[in-house]
Structure 1
């Protein structure tokens, strides 16, 4: 479940319940009745907050991306090598969500939300993440700690390629250990490319 400090407590409870239901039953099989029951409220009360399951899914995804982008930006501000910062940002991007998804048979469905009604929310969230990486690169180049001399492009191009690599990694892993190892390799490779 995405972390959300400023949410209304009832909305937060609904989103937590929905995430649990989606993990247990899958998005397609989860009903509004399931979510209402898990949230400890009636269906009419649930409908006062969300008109349908798609709106709940979109709120979950949007909240995840907003929190992940903020956590990534914080991680990139830490001291250390470019590889260290990138790995910290990759770990921050996932939070605890990825490991929870690995423990359920419905995790892959949640990991591939581009094919859902929320595809525009996913695209906007990925844009947020690209922007976080691009800003970090631009600031690092300006400060002299990073360089684009070994790349054939811009900070935005670097950020886009990095995010595409991360998305590809997410699509191809089989265990959390292989995924984390893939993140480490990507962080070291991309970090070496831009370290000044």
Structure 2
């Protein structure tokens, strides 16, 4: 193993990052298709088009690959969320777009959603820090969106009668609840997120 670590560390930083992301992307496809338990390191290597030995240059095992996959997804989601917040438009539309950029994009990334229960359990078991960071992406940018909308007179947050953090937490719970039961299609989930955004935006609308 020492040779592998030395070989991995000898790669230029950009090349190593690109290889890690290549593996994480392959893992995302596999986990969406087969779930976590049914995806092996051999499967991930084949999906990434790499030798299994190359996989072990960067990861000790499947748990590490899973965490890298969640990190990759988080970076993609954050980039899209920041684009939404930077876009001008009515608050309800921007809130709906933010929900879609975060929750909707993550849901669509895992295919039909049939493995979401298993994957969420794995996140809670081995990737708590990464999961919390992923959720904080939305919480932070939703707070920014609220602040901007209030400063522009679009909303009157006092109408919500709850602290900002509680309002955002409720929004996130509603977004999570919108995919319970029979897993909806990505399109149906997007519509449910739009409905959630409309309801929550109405709760703080300026009179």
Asked if Structure 1 and Structure 2 have the same fold, meaning a TM-score greater than 0.5 normalized by the shorter chain, the answer is: yes
Correspondence 1:51-130 to 2 at 5 A: 51-94=60-103, 96-99=105-108, 101-103=110-112, 105-110=114-119, 113-130=122-139
Residue pair 1:131, 1:159 contacting (<8 A) in 2 also: no
2:153 to 134, 144, 151: 144
For 1:192, the equivalent position in structure 2 comes to 202
1:38 to 47, 52, 77: 47
2:178 & 2:104 partners in 1: Cα distance?
16
Report the count of equivalent residues. 192
Q: Larger Cα Rg: Structure 1 or Structure 2?
A: 2
For 1:49, the equivalent position in structure 2 comes to 58
Q: Which runs of 5+ in 1 are unaligned?
A: 1-5
For 1:3, the equivalent position in structure 2 comes to none
TM-score by length of 1: 0.84
1:16 to 3, 25, 50: 25
1:153 & 1:89 partners in 2: Cα distance?
21
TM-score by length of 2: 0.80
Q: Which runs of 5+ in 2 are unaligned?
A: 1-14
Mark the CA change 1:112 to 1:75 in structure 2 (over 3 Å): closer, same or farther: farther
Q: RMSD over aligned Cα, in angstroms?
A: 2.5
